[in-house]
Amino acid sequence: MGHVKKLTGIALTLALAGSLAACGNNNNGGSANGSSNAGNAGNGGGNGGSNNGAAANNKGDAGGIDTSKFETINYVVLGDKPKNGQLEKVMEKVNAILKEKVNAELQFKWVEWADWQTKYNLLLASGEPLDLITIGTDWLDTWGNAQRGAFLPLNDLLEKYAPQTFSEIPQEDWDQSKFKDDIVLIPEDHYTQWVNHGIYYRGDWAKEFGITQPITDFETLGKYFQGIKDNKKDVVPWDTNGTNGTLYAGFEAAYTDNIDLPIGTGYAGVFTGKSYDERYTVDSPIFNDKFIDFAKMMKEWADKGFWREDVLNYKGDTRNELKAGQTGADAHHTQTFKGLRVDMDKAQPGSELQMFSYSDTRGNLISMPITHGGTSVGAHSKHPERALMVYDLIRSDKELYQLINYGLEGVQYEIKDGVRTRPAAYDDAKDGFYTDFWGGRVDKNEIPSDTDWSEIGTIYEKYDQIKKPFPYGKFVFDKTTVDPEMTAISQVVGEQMPAILYGKAGDPEKAVQALRDKLKSAGFDKVKAEIQKQLDAFKASEQG
């Protein structure tokens, strides 16, 4: 995700959101097309019926709270706003319920995917009165934004204005939602998902090229790409673009013991824990000699034509190309794969889409933090109390929840044998709907979907056997003393890393060394020392 050159210094300061763990760069991975978890959504009936919401009476009283004044609540979400009119139709129903129960209406405020990192952080820094804000500590620089004062402390508000949510979330999860002593976010801790990354490939083509076992390493993936190059005319092996930083995540998981720290440095995470066993020791994949070997491999892949020559400038839709048979790969995480597998079975029958998860190589897999998704209240919100009441209803009222996540029954979906499916007359262009609501999903209100691959549970089981608990839930890095250096490091990574990962930086060894030198000049050692200092303190607090 490159920086916009015309931005002022403050924009560069803010462009620190992590790039790899995002919930998606298109809506295929969003709530409209399969946000329900196949292994857990069987609880869809739940006990989250509409009676859980505090109903407003004719005097504007919701559970003893004065709601006589009608208020409009905005909700910042990541994604491109739907343009087919279905969102407006669904929101009519949503807002009728909200008006009845808490005398309010909800309006989504969209941060579009084009340069989303910069736009999101600038919006939060603008002073605009934002009510509800989608957050993610591992991809949306939540702690950095908290340090910049973007969020309202919720300690004294939650129990009164979001009582269902407050009682449902355990204290240990609230402890992971604090900046210093203040609760600044509501975690999406009751929704099961896996967002570990990898590369999708066609199982039928792999077998055709003599690859009979699942791909579990980059070397075999290279053989698959070469098979496409040799046997599939007019097909780009992987028609990706340079804004996709997935290869860096792949290198880290497949070739090192490093684990991610919740410290954003733009396009790629520069600072990591050395390993799970040495999780309180700061390290960096960039300074691992294996990174040079990986850069050399990527240069070979580029020279062989595994992606297009103008990969760094290409803006095409790789996922749609995969469905059309025009490319042989795509990249994102498991949550997207479970829906894409079904799409591919329809678009390319017999394709047997598979996922090479980067953790497959050597079992380097850390559980997702409960704060990967969640919601905060803006520091400048004009009506935070009503905002929390609206959020509490979305999370606990099953009718409202399913409207926001699935749309209108009979239009966007219908239920057959307890499973959500598309109506016979459904046309995605005309009837498609999503809200990119990733801030408060709960398993109990999910409905199983036929757009989720029925065998995804086997992959979850594989992950469960090797996963290690996320160790940094209570670690919040205070970058006050190194903020200029963090900004400079993010800028260097954004400028240098894409060309290295996609083999367009010339001699790999020289390019990696140049990257390291520029990071050093930007203040790498100073930042590393500060992180280590704070990790040492965190270790002491964890171990008593």
How far is the C-alpha of 440 from the C-alpha of 218, rounded, in Å? 35
Whether residues 364 and 375 fall in one domain: no
Q: Is 20 helix (H, G, I), strand (E, B) or coil?
A: coil
Whether residues 223 and 298 fall in one domain: yes
DSSP string for 297-366: HHHHHHHHTSS-TTTTT----HHHHHHTTSBSEEEEEHHHHHHHHHHHHHHSTT--EEEEEGGGTT---B
pTM of the model as a whole: 0.76
Residue 102: what pLDDT? Answer: 98
Please, are residues 111 and 102 in contact by the beta-carbon 8 Å criterion? no
CA distances from 408 to 53, 91, 405, 432 (A): 20, 10, 10, 10
- The pLDDT of residue 17 is above 50: no
| Residue that terminates a domain, selected from 462, 483, 505 | 462
- The helix (H) or strand (E) run that includes residue 78 is strand 71-78
Residue 516: what pLDDT? Answer: 98
Please, are residues 106 and 401 in contact by the beta-carbon 8 Å criterion? no
Please, are residues 372 and 21 in contact by the beta-carbon 8 Å criterion? yes
| Residue that terminates a domain, selected from 404, 437, 462 | 462
- Among the listed residues 141, 144, 294, the one whose alpha carbon sits nearest the alpha carbon of residue 219: 294
Q: Please, which pLDDT band fits residue 44 given cuts at 50, 70 and 90?
A: very low
* pLDDT 10s digits, 168-185: 999 999 999 999 899 999
Q: Report the percent of the chain where pLDDT is more than 90.
A: 81
* pLDDT 10s digits, 376-420: 999 999 999 999 999 999 999 999 999 999 999 999 999 999 999
Whether residues 155 and 116 fall in one domain: yes
pLDDT (average), residues 189-209: 95
- The pLDDT of residue 12 is above 50: no
In a domain, 25, yes or no: no
- The pLDDT of residue 48 is above 90: no
Query: Structural domain of residue 360, as residue ranges?
Result: 197-368+472-542
> What do you get for the CA distance between the two ends of the chain, in Å?
40
Residue 19: what pLDDT? Answer: 36
Whether residues 143 and 240 fall in one domain: no
How far is the C-alpha of 427 from the C-alpha of 412, rounded, in Å? 9
How far is the C-alpha of 295 from the C-alpha of 510, rounded, in Å? 10
Pairing of strands 104-111, 71-78: parallel
Q: Report the percent of the chain where pLDDT is more than 70.
A: 88
Residue 61: what pLDDT? Answer: 63
CA distances from 257 to 208, 251, 265, 329 (A): 33, 10, 20, 26
Whether residues 158 and 227 fall in one domain: no
Residue 542: what pLDDT? Answer: 86
Q: Please, which pLDDT band fits residue 41 given cuts at 50, 70 and 90?
A: very low
What does DSSP assign to residue 409? B
| Residue that terminates a domain, selected from 442, 462, 482 | 462
- Among the listed residues 97, 179, 186, 207, the one whose alpha carbon sits nearest the alpha carbon of residue 135: 186
List Cβ neighbours of 204 (8 Å cut-off, separation of 6 or more). 350, 351, 352
Whether residues 162 and 271 fall in one domain: no
In a domain, 51, yes or no: no
Q: Is 374 helix (H, G, I), strand (E, B) or coil?
A: strand
In a domain, 357, yes or no: yes
Higher pLDDT: 213 or 44? It is: 213
List Cβ neighbours of 176 (8 Å cut-off, separation of 6 or more). 187, 369, 370, 371, 473, 474
In a domain, 11, yes or no: no
* Tokens found for residue 282: 């700061």
In a domain, 23, yes or no: no
Q: Please, which pLDDT band fits residue 57 given cuts at 50, 70 and 90?
A: very low
Please, are residues 447 and 36 in contact by the beta-carbon 8 Å criterion? yes
Residue 303: what pLDDT? Answer: 98
Residue 53: what pLDDT? Answer: 39
How far is the C-alpha of 436 from the C-alpha of 177, rounded, in Å? 22
* pLDDT 10s digits, 410-448: 999 999 999 999 999 999 999 999 999 999 999 999 999
Whether residues 253 and 357 fall in one domain: yes
pLDDT (average), residues 482-500: 96
- The pLDDT of residue 150 is above 90: yes
* Tokens found for residue 458: 């086997």
- The pLDDT of residue 50 is above 70: no
Fill in the amino acid letter for 143.
W
Residue 59: what pLDDT? Answer: 43
Computed over every residue of the chain, the mean pLDDT equals: 89
Residue 190: what pLDDT? Answer: 95
What does DSSP assign to residue 485? H
The total domain count for the chain is: 2
Residue 6: what pLDDT? Answer: 31
Residue 60: what pLDDT? Answer: 62
Backbone angles phi, psi at 139, to 5 degrees: -150, -10
Residue 404: what pLDDT? Answer: 98
Residue 247: what pLDDT? Answer: 97
Whether residues 202 and 178 fall in one domain: no
Residue 141: what pLDDT? Answer: 87
In a domain, 436, yes or no: yes
Higher pLDDT: 136 or 138? It is: 136
List Cβ neighbours of 483 (8 Å cut-off, separation of 6 or more). 13
In a domain, 323, yes or no: yes
Whether residues 243 and 361 fall in one domain: yes
Whether residues 340 and 243 fall in one domain: yes
Whether residues 333 and 389 fall in one domain: no
pLDDT (average), residues 112-123: 91
In a domain, 8, yes or no: no
Angle at 489 between CA 484 and CA 490, to 5 degrees: 100
β-bridge partners, 272: 260, 283
Q: Is 16 exposed, middle or buried (0-12, 13-18, 19+ CB in 10 A)?
A: buried
Crossing angle of helices 246-255 and 290-304, rounded to 10°: 130
Whether residues 223 and 307 fall in one domain: yes
Write the CATH number for 341. Answer: 3.40.190.10
* pLDDT 10s digits, 271-323: 999 999 999 999 999 999 999 999 999 999 999 999 999 999 998 899 999 99
Fill in the amino acid letter for 173.
D
Backbone angles phi, psi at 246, to 5 degrees: -60, -30
Backbone angles phi, psi at 330, to 5 degrees: -155, 170
